[in-house]
């Protein structure tokens, strides 16, 4: 059976929630309005518990099934959506476009939140499962590690969560299709900040200086040899230096320079290797040039690793919703996603939901596709009803 009839009936309402959230985008942990909206809906639906303020502005709804739980059955499953928007000026021209200058829902978290609310409504209404569904609405997915903040606040322990499932819309994947693979599918993302202190001076007297610009270029070149010469060519890795700041006059060799970049990897071994080699290269260039080079290497989101058994579950449920031919394999991506923290704590799976031929994520013309709502919402419901089926 494909999309649930009841979900098709709920679609206009879920879409209206999405448009409301879309109008008032909020960033990072400052998702007060969205969190209030979510908590109010969850209370209306009659969730058994609605807890706010987890991970600062995260919201959790607890829905207990009506069927008895058997011994040894899975008891508690967590479904996660994200609520935050991005610091981008919206250029969609939509009637429900952002009303907040410089902020927009350009990653579809408005859609994720609305779909999970739709599922919560259905599950609270029907309760046709055993055990407990925990619906999780997190802040600060976009670089703020909101998932980690909720875990630090005892998300797993307080609600007894045994498995986590997440979903993200995927532009380029047809509406009505899903994409998933087991294993590492999204990258760990680390940041590097480099401060070079050379010796400034007159542009015409370079021999009296240590040119921080030249040191910076040598460093960038040397860093680019790490992926090409140190990493196994069959492994994935990215080092991108995206900022280089130095100087403010054409005739002055600048005393200092600053570089900033990002490091992406799909395994902890390659991640460790890159960090070590970056430290070595920085030390080596400092020695060769005589500059002082300060490196701050900060580890960000971990690799998102889909667990095999739960990926099978997700695939099976997606096929049930979308049909066999509409569930495809997802090649790993070097983007990052903080749902990875949840999958470090408990087994689970992250699936991509087709958003059709839309602008890409984080683009000012991007919009979540309302036609995907019935598929995503049905997926959540069927996931709970099948994973928490009475034995
Ligand atoms: Zn995003
Ligand atoms: Zn996102």
CATH code of residue 272: 3.30.70.360
Quick one: tokens of 216?
Answer: 């910076």
Residues 273 and 341 in one domain: no
Q: What is the pTM of this model?
A: 0.93
Percentage above 90 pLDDT, the chain: 95
- The least confident of 190-199, 243-252, 338-347, 382-391 is 382-391
Distance from residue 362's CA to the centre of ligand 1 (Å): 6
Contact 133, 116 (CB under 8 A): no
**Of the candidates 349, 389, 330, which has an alpha carbon nearest to the alpha carbon of residue 78?**
349
Residues with CB under 5 Å of ion ligand 1 are: 107
Distance from residue 108's CA to the centre of ligand 1 (Å): 8
What is the number of structural domains in the chain?
A: 2
Distance from residue 335's CA to the centre of ligand 1 (Å): 9
Q: Which ligand is nearest to the CA of 166?
A: 2
Mean pLDDT taken over the chain: 97
Residues 179 and 239 in one domain: no
Question: How far is residue 343 CA from its own chain's centroid?
Answer: 12
Residues 313 and 377 in one domain: yes
Domain end among 249, 275, 299:
299
Euclidean distance between CA atoms 146 and 342, whole angstroms: 11
Euclidean distance between CA atoms 224 and 277, whole angstroms: 11
Instruction: Return the biggest CA–CA distance within the chain.
Output: 83
- Non-local (6+) Cβ contacts of 334 within 8 A are 186, 187, 236, 238, 264, 266
- Provide the pLDDT for residue 2: 66
Residues 309 and 283 in one domain: no
Averaged pLDDT, 23-29: 98
Contact 336, 187 (CB under 8 A): yes
Distance from residue 108's CA to the centre of ligand 2 (Å): 6
Q: pLDDT band at residue 3, thresholds of 50, 70 and 90? A: confident
- Non-local (6+) Cβ contacts of 36 within 8 A are none
Residues 68 and 148 in one domain: yes
pLDDT surpassing 80 at residue 209? yes
* Residue 364 belongs to domain with CATH number: 3.40.630.10
Bridge-based pairing of strands 188-197 and 292-299 is antiparallel
Averaged pLDDT, 19-26: 98
- Provide the pLDDT for residue 238: 97
Euclidean distance between CA atoms 24 and 145, whole angstroms: 21
Domain end among 299, 327, 355:
299
**What are the pLDDT digits (tens) for 305-341?**
999 999 999 999 999 999 999 999 999 999 999 999 9
Domain end among 299, 334, 357:
299
Residues 104 and 14 in one domain: yes
Residues 10 and 107 in one domain: yes
Distance from residue 86's CA to the centre of ligand 1 (Å): 8
pLDDT surpassing 80 at residue 123? yes
Active site residues: 84, 141
- Provide the pLDDT for residue 4: 80
Quick one: tokens of 215?
Answer: 């040191």
pLDDT surpassing 90 at residue 13? yes
Residues 66 and 89 in one domain: yes
pLDDT surpassing 70 at residue 229? yes
Residues 215 and 158 in one domain: no
Distance from residue 370's CA to the centre of ligand 1 (Å): 18
Give the structural domain span for 198: 188-299
**What are the pLDDT digits (tens) for 39-94?**
999 999 999 999 999 999 999 999 999 999 888 888 999 999 999 999 999 999 99
**Of the candidates 302, 303, 310, which has an alpha carbon nearest to the alpha carbon of residue 346?**
310
pLDDT surpassing 60 at residue 1? no
pLDDT surpassing 80 at residue 152? yes
Averaged pLDDT, 358-379: 98
Residues 197 and 290 in one domain: yes
Averaged pLDDT, 208-225: 98
- Non-local (6+) Cβ contacts of 253 within 8 A are 198, 200, 201, 202, 203, 206, 209, 211, 212, 213, 247
- Provide the pLDDT for residue 253: 98
Contact 50, 43 (CB under 8 A): yes
Euclidean distance between CA atoms 384 and 75, whole angstroms: 10
Distance from residue 106's CA to the centre of ligand 2 (Å): 8
**Of the candidates 219, 197, 194, which has an alpha carbon nearest to the alpha carbon of residue 290?**
197
Residues 291 and 362 in one domain: no
Residues 261 and 177 in one domain: no
Distance from residue 290's CA to the centre of ligand 2 (Å): 43
């Amino acid at each position: 059976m494909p999309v649930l009839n009841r979900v098709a009936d709920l679609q206009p309402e879920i879409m209206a929630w999405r448009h409301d959230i879309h109008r008032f985008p909020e960033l990072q942990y400052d998702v007060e309005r969205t969190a209030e909206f979510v908590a109010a809906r969850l209370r209306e639906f009659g969730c058994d518990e609605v807890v706010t303020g987890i991970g600062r502005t995260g919201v959790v709804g607890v829905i207990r099934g009506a069927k008895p739980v058997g011994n040894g059955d899975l008891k508690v499953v967590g479904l996660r959506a994200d609520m935050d928007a991005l610091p981008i000026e919206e250029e969609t021209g939509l009637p429900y476009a952002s009303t907040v200058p410089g902020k927009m829902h350009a990653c579809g978290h408005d859609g994720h939140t609305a779909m999970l609310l739709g599922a919560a409504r259905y599950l609270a209404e029907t309760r046709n499962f055993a055990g407990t569904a925990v619906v999780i609405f997190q802040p600060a997915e976009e670089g703020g590690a909101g998932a980690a903040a909720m875990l630090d606040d005892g998300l797993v322990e307080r609600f007894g969560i045994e498995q986590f499932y997440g979903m993200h819309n995927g532009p380029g994947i047809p509406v009505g299709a899903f994409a998933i693979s087991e294993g590492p599918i999204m990258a760990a993302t680390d940041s590097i900040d480099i401060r070079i202190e050379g010796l400034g001076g007159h542009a015409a007297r370079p021999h009296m200086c240590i040119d921080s610009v030249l040191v910076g270029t040598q460093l960038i070149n040397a860093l680019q040899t790490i992926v090409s010469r140190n990493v196994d060519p069959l492994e994935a890795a990215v080092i991108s230096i995206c900022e280089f700041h130095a100087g403010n006059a054409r005739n002055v060799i600048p005393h200092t320079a600053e570089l900033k970049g990002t490091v992406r990897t799909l395994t902890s071994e390659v991640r460790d290797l890159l960090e070590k080699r970056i430290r070595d290269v920085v030390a080596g260039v400092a020695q060769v040039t005589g500059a002082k080079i300060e490196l701050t290497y900060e580890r960000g989101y971990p690799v998102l690793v889909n667990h095999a058994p739960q990926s099978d579950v997700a695939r099976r449920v997606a096929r049930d919703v979308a049909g066999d031919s509409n569930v495809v394999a997802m090649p790993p991506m070097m983007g990052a996603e903080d749902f990875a923290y949840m999958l470090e704590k408990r087994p689970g799976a992250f699936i991509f939901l087709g958003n059709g031929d839309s602008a890409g994520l984080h683009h000012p013309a991007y919009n979540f596709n309302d036609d995907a709502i019935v598929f995503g919402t049905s997926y959540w419901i069927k996931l709970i009803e099948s994973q928490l089926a009475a034995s």
